[in-house]
Structure 1
């Protein structure tokens, strides 16, 4: 159902910019949204990167103004966000030793458009999203430039154009944005001298040459009948980088369609320290999504229609979501992991004897996660299909 002209629009801009460089306990409930939206977006054969926690934050900002059926549908799709205290502690612990984890939210409102004081206070206190007035009606391109500039600033320049030309117009009344930026140094760095070109096997029979990083060290490791799981820590933080490597070259398809919170918790719960000989490709990947249809398919149907109820924002039923945009970037190399995002609105585990040599060679498509081991929150996740797209 299209949105009538009488229904004013507000936009959730969902952006992820992430870079993963190599440098010097899952939560099943909270990761339901993360695994569901991954499955929704994993169609096709390309690389994938997104920040489920960042998307959930932006949508949760909109949820504060939703009422009735709209609120019920949004709440059913979204997970409960981690407690503020847990996120504050993560921000403290992840900003040590040259590592950085930064977050920011913002509320952009049409000049003179009245919003309820309770909604504004919730944005400022719970989400630390100050109100910034813009003139969407008179100069939407200038408003777009201001939001894009904020996005670029809060993602360390990784995302320079969250909204493309013409994507905002005079009917917009609000835009909600949320940004996350992470840079982490590997606890055990990959020596650059060990990096060398080697084949990466694509789904099918083709191969491409990729730069593979090599090292043998103690990592977290688990194995199932169908996959190997590797966990690499970032120095001095509770954040880790997990790789789920299917044993079959084309096994990523099964991972994409069957991953759920229970299976993820089972995989990650079996991780234990082991000396592992690792070969991991350097790669860069980008993704861009318009999530309106995806979220509607997940159950968030009325929010985008004339039946939407966001009366908790302005006291009237005259608002509906118009866009939910998400962009992402990831870069993995020898030195560390850099990731950023901006958002506007099971198999049986194998009991193994310890072999003398464990090899983890990620030379075909795999799933990866960046997560907080204490809360289990997935900050970023994605899929590498081709390190040379």
Structure 2
């Protein structure tokens, strides 16, 4: 969305850092693909509640380019609110309460502080709630099971448990086990358990190709599964991450956002992300929001394999129709919220 209003090197850095090669096709194709993806993901379904959206909070006095406004509304179905930034605390409250409402109270206090020169805040939010196709029986959940954090430390966690037929694979190359559990609708959770000491290797190997490889390796089999019941939350400022990825000019005096406004010099000041994820017997509830701020300068059955997620693992929520990764995270300590 931000790249729609960026120009020159600022635009190139944003798109290239996100893995888009502009020599392979026009920029318009990228935005049209996102438009299509958002529409596909928003298709209503009974078994799945997936709400996502984008919103721009813009300083009343800021003169925006009509083309930029038209494009964010048309391509990203973004809402645009005129905002009074003269009181940063009032503006912050307005933005946070909007995000909290849109994520059903899951993401609170996304914006911790606003600088006095802020003229625009861009927020993306997503809320996901779904029920397992094969839910766990809460009666089988063990209230206090050991989960290894660090090399020798364990914490006690509620451990969900069931014997059922699931898609499962072992990846000998990456020394990890992959369990796919389906939700109603077209969404699935991938639980990936690395061998002892192999987490870093697994993280470095994550890619679209690796995901496709796992999808091909997966086979249905009877499993006895132990998965912690947990609720986790993570917040991060993405400025340092984006700088490392190559998005540099957007944050300094070289910024060119003249596609957003010609009357003021804009630069990025803050990019905040917060995700919340609950995994329980009946299903999953997840919410995430990212805010980008711009500154103006001026049981019994067949024989089965036992799979225990009792040490750190990766978790991916994937929309199978589009192969879009909705959430990606590492569960290191299920007791930490």
Q: Using structure 1 for the length normalisation, give the TM-score.
A: 0.77
Question: Which residue is 2:190 aligned to?
Answer: 242
Instruction: Give a deviation string over 1:304-347, Cα, whole Å, max 9, x none.
Output: 010011110012571110000111211211111111122222xx
CA distance in 2 between counterparts of 1:373 and 1:385 reads 26
| SS at 1:269 equivalent | helix
Kept after mapping to 1: 8 A contact 2:106/2:287: yes
Residues 247/66 of structure 1: CA separation in 2 closer, same or farther (3 Å cut): same
CA distance in 2 between counterparts of 1:316 and 1:71 reads 19
Kept after mapping to 2: 8 A contact 1:310/1:316: no
Question: Which residue is 1:62 aligned to?
Answer: 2
Matched, 1:71 2:11: yes
Question: Which residue is 2:178 aligned to?
Answer: 229
CA distance in 2 between counterparts of 1:206 and 1:115 reads 55
| SS at 1:163 equivalent | coil
Q: 1:205 aligns with which of 121, 144, 152?
A: 152
Question: Which residue is 1:367 aligned to?
Answer: 314
Contiguous gaps of at least 5 residues in structure 2: 20-29, 293-301
Matched, 1:131 2:80: yes
| SS at 1:312 equivalent | coil
Q: Using structure 2 for the length normalisation, give the TM-score.
A: 0.88
Question: Which residue is 1:261 aligned to?
Answer: 208
Matched, 1:142 2:90: yes
Question: Which residue is 1:357 aligned to?
Answer: 304
Q: 1:179 aligns with which of 90, 114, 125?
A: 125
Question: Which residue is 2:35 aligned to?
Answer: 84
Q: 1:162 aligns with which of 95, 110, 116?
A: 110
What is the root-mean-square deviation in Å for CA atoms of aligned residues? 1.7
Kept after mapping to 2: 8 A contact 1:198/1:210: yes
Deviation at 1:107, TM superposition (A): 1.1
CA distance in 2 between counterparts of 1:200 and 1:227 reads 18
Query: RCO (CA 8 Å, sep 6+): is it higher in 1 or 2?
Result: 1
Kept after mapping to 2: 8 A contact 1:107/1:123: no
Aligned positions, number? 313
Kept after mapping to 1: 8 A contact 2:34/2:75: no
Kept after mapping to 2: 8 A contact 1:111/1:133: yes
Question: Which residue is 1:274 aligned to?
Answer: 221
